[in-house]
Structures are given as structure tokens and as C-alpha cells.
């Protein structure tokens, strides 16, 4: 089964207008939070501010200024050694090159117009000694957490952004179909992972920075949701949680479904129905003004996170987020996980658009157990 969007073709989305709208919202949020400049290092935030297409790279990276935004000029300056993937509104003189020696990097960034006069600078990530780095760029500037301003700019999505997320969800659903086809007795978890990676590659989506998309759930002992695929073989009657994600124009979409190897048992069908009913009830409560404390279930473990570019707030689960409040325009990944000894676990995840009325579910792939 593959899913095709029937709403609008990708080419009809004006990405130039999307980027301009994001910059406008970011500058407004900076003004509201008293920030004269931003030093951004997280890829999702850099993409949101600059709109540059970034290469996927393996491994961790130290925090560093990949993008600088100056309120006084409205300029967005990007760490890049070439023009490939850089949108036309970020001109060549707004690029600063990579320097291995911080002593050489500091003059390049300090030369950005308006930065030296900044009195309050926000950053999304920093390491020990960052205050000294900032002092060399903007003498006397106060270092602030950029998270509140970034959240304000990112949390309420435009109609075009929601459509981009829908495209990412559709890619995820097509990948889910390929993963389902690979689920059979004797297959390995990593075989399912390979089917997923091949599917999103065929559709032009870059490889995401996680392999946690498949888990053959155990039927005895602690039923846990593992995030690292292994070489273990799938057996008849086993519940397999599939949770593919994909990127489209920098926006993330994803879906979670659970399938069973061969034919479902009555117990597996009951567990799947319990999980689906719990998720549907939580989704129905994902309305503007709802509090995190009200978005939980007694029948399943529920996790809710913001969906968009990179890691987004809110994060709501039994471990926290009770005081979070949903606002209209948010897009959420809403996940439910239900387990039963002797049966296994069922994972379900949908993308949900929060509006003033009944929430709109962006994912369309049916639940297949039952």
C-alpha cells in the first residue's frame, strides 16, 4: 500500500515565500524576547533561519555558530564554503567559511554587520568557554537562551508548512508499506531497516539521523520498545512495531504502526484495539488550549512531541510536560504504546495538526491488526 497526497503538488508550494515567512516570524520573536542577535548551531534551527539544504553527516558534532541572525539588519549569515543548497536571498557576502582554528573563525564572524553592537545574544547550544567566544564577537553582550524565541517562531505552522509536513508523512507512509512487505518469518530487524532506507532513498528523502524504526517486540519478560535494530529473527505471531520517518524540504513527518508476523491472535487484536482507542481519545483532546496533564491515557503510554524542523517543543509524556499548553497551528507527533505479557507490544503514532476545533490527523495509513 502506498499513499499519495491528493491535496496539492509539491511544485505548487512557494518555498521562497515559506522561507520569508519563517524569517519574519523569527525576527518578531527576537524582538519580543529582547534578542539583538542569534548564534545558532542545531541543524533544524539553522535550516529554519537560513533555509539552506544541509548534507547529512554521521556522528556527533560540537556546538558552534552555523548561522548568525542580526536583528538590526535582518541579515541571516550562514557557515558555508560553497553556494550549493544556499537559497538566493542569502547572498555570497553573507557566507562565512569554516575555520579549524577558532582564532581565525572569530574575526570572520565579528565582521558580520551589526553583530558587534548587539547587547543581548541568544544561542541554542553552547559549551564551556562560549562566553569568552561571545565577548570577542560582541563586547559586553549578555548571553541568553534562544529556546523561548525559537519556540515562539516555530510552534504555530503556516498552511504551507503543514502541507510540507504532509508530504513528509506521505513519504513515511510509502516507506511503511515497503517495511510491511519485508515482515515475514525468518526476516531480521535489520532487513526491515534496509527496506525502509531503500524506500526513502527512492523518493529522494535524505537519511535521517536514527535507525530506530523497527522493533520485534518480545512476548515474555519486560516488553520494551527498543530503538536499535538487531540481527534477531522474526517469528510467527510476533508483533513488530514500525515507526518510519522522513524529511521533505527540511520538515519531518512520521508514522507508527504495528504489524504481526502471519495471522493475528485474538489477544493481539484486543491489544491493538486498546492502543488505537487510547490514541484516538488523546488525539481528540489535542485542541488549542489543552494542557499536557490532560493528554494522557490509563490504557497506554502516550508521548507527544512537536513536529517540524529538528527537535521541537512541546514534549509531553508521563515524565513531564504537564504544564505545557497547546496552541492553534502546532503540528504534533502523538504516539501510544501498549503492552501485554505473553502478547507483546503495539505502537501507534500519528501526525496531528492542532486547530481551534477538532484536530486534523495528517497521517492516513490504516492500523492493520484486527
Confidence of residue 221 (pLDDT cuts 50, 70, 90): confident
* 143/201 same-domain check: no
Once rounded to an integer, what is the mean pLDDT over residues 123-127? 86
At 61 the pLDDT is: 57
pLDDT at 1 over 50: no
Q: How far apart are CA 143 and CA 147, in angstroms?
A: 12
At 208 the pLDDT is: 73
Closest CA to 139 of 110, 112, 102, 101: 110
Confidence of residue 226 (pLDDT cuts 50, 70, 90): confident
For residue 353, being part of any structural domain is answered with yes
* 165/250 same-domain check: yes
* 222/282 same-domain check: yes
* 126/181 same-domain check: no
240: which 3 cell numbers?
A: 513488530
At 59 the pLDDT is: 53
For residue 216, being part of any structural domain is answered with yes
At 311 the pLDDT is: 86
pLDDT at 5 over 70: no
Confidence of residue 164 (pLDDT cuts 50, 70, 90): very high
At 318 the pLDDT is: 83
At 63 the pLDDT is: 59
* Winning range, highest mean pLDDT, from 58-62, 157-161, 235-239: 157-161
At 8 the pLDDT is: 42
Which one of 137, 154, 171 terminates a domain? 154
* 227/258 same-domain check: yes
What domain count does the chain have?
Answer: 2
Query: 241-254 b/e with 16+ CB inside 10 Å = b?
Result: bbbbbbbbbbbbbb
* 117/210 same-domain check: no
pLDDT at 258 over 60: yes
For residue 1, being part of any structural domain is answered with no
* 127/199 same-domain check: no
pLDDT at 115 over 60: yes
Once rounded to an integer, what is the mean pLDDT over residues 349-359? 95
pLDDT at 76 over 80: yes
pLDDT at 4 over 50: no
Once rounded to an integer, what is the mean pLDDT over residues 309-335? 94
Domain span at residue 312?
A: 159-361
At 82 the pLDDT is: 83
280: which 3 cell numbers?
A: 484516538
Once rounded to an integer, what is the mean pLDDT over residues 269-277? 95
* 258/168 same-domain check: yes
Strand order in the sheet with 360-361: 312-316, 301-306, 331-340, 344-353, 360-361
* 256/131 same-domain check: no
Q: Please state the pTM of the whole predicted model.
A: 0.91
* 117/23 same-domain check: yes
Q: Are 68 and 39 in contact (CB under 8 A)?
A: yes
At 88 the pLDDT is: 93
Which residues are CB-contacts of 107 (< 8 A; sequence separation ≥ 6)? none
For residue 370, being part of any structural domain is answered with no
CA distances from 344 to 34, 47, 304 (A): 51, 39, 22
* Arithmetic mean of pLDDT over the chain: 90
* 195/291 same-domain check: yes
Which one of 154, 172, 191 terminates a domain? 154
Confidence of residue 56 (pLDDT cuts 50, 70, 90): low
For residue 182, being part of any structural domain is answered with yes
* 139/90 same-domain check: yes
Which one of 93, 127, 154 terminates a domain? 154
Once rounded to an integer, what is the mean pLDDT over residues 173-201? 95
- For 211, the 3-state DSSP assignment is coil
Amino acid at each position: 500500500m502506498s499513499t499519495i497526497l491528493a491535496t496539492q503538488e509539491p511544485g505548487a508550494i512557494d518555498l521562497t515565500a515559506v522561507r520569508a515567512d519563517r524569517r519574519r516570524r523569527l525576527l518578531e520573536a527576537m524582538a519580543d524576547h529582547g534578542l539583538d542577535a542569534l548564534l545558532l548551531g542545531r541543524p533544524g534551527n539553522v535550516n529554519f533561519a537560513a533555509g539552506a539544504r544541509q548534507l547529512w553527516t554521521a556522528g556527533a558534532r560540537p556546538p558552534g555558530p552555523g548561522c548568525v541572525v542580526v536583528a538590526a539588519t535582518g541579515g541571516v549569515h550562514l557557515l558555508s564554503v560553497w553556494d550549493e543548497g544556499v537559497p538566493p536571498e542569502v547572498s555570497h557576502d553573507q557566507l562565512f567559511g569554516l575555520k579549524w582554528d577558532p582564532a581565525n573563525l572569530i574575526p570572520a564572524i565579528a565582521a558580520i554587520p551589526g553583530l558587534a553592537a548587539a547587547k543581548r545574544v541568544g544561542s541554542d547550544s553552547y559549551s564551556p568557554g562560549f562566553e569568552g567566544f561571545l565577548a570577542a564577537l560582541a563586547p559586553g553582550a549578555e548571553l541568553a537562551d534562544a529556546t523561548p524565541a525559537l519556540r515562539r517562531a516555530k510552534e504555530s505552522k503556516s498552511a504551507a508548512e503543514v502541507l510540507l509536513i504532509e508530504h513528509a508523512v506521505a513519504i513515511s507512509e510509502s516507506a511503511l508499506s515497503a517495511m510491511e512487505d519485508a515482515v515475514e518469518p525468518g526476516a531480521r530487524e535489520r532487513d526491515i531497516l534496509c527496506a525502509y532506507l531503500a524506500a526513502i532513498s527512492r523518493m529522494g528523502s535524505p537519511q535521517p539521523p536514527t535507525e530506530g524504526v523497527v522493533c520485534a517486540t518480545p512476548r515474555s519478560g519486560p516488553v520494551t520498545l527498543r530503538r536499535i535494530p538487531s540481527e534477531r529473527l522474526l517469528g510467527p505471531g510476533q508483533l513488530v512495531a514500525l515507526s518510519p520517518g522522513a524529511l521533505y524540504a527540511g520538515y519531518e513527518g512520521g508514522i507508527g504502526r504495528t504489524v504481526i508476523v502471519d495471522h493475528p491472535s485474538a489477544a493481539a487484536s484486543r491489544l491493538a484495539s486498546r492502543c488505537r482507542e487510547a490514541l484516538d481519545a488523546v488525539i481528540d483532546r489535542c485542541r488549542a488550549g489543552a494542557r499536557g496533564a490532560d493528554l494522557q491515557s490509563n490504557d497506554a503510554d502516550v508521548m507527544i512531541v512537536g513536529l517540524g524542523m529538528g527537535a521541537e517543543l512541546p514534549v509531553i509524556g508521563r515524565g513531564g510536560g504537564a504544564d505545557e499548553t497547546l496552541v492553534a497551528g502546532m503540528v504534533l507527533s502523538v504516539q501510544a504504546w501498549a503492552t501485554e505479557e505473553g502478547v507483546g507490544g503495539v505502537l501507534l503514532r500519528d501526525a496531528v495538526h492542532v486547530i481551534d476545533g477538532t484536530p486534523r490527523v495528517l497521517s492516513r495509513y490504516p492500523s492493520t491488526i484486527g
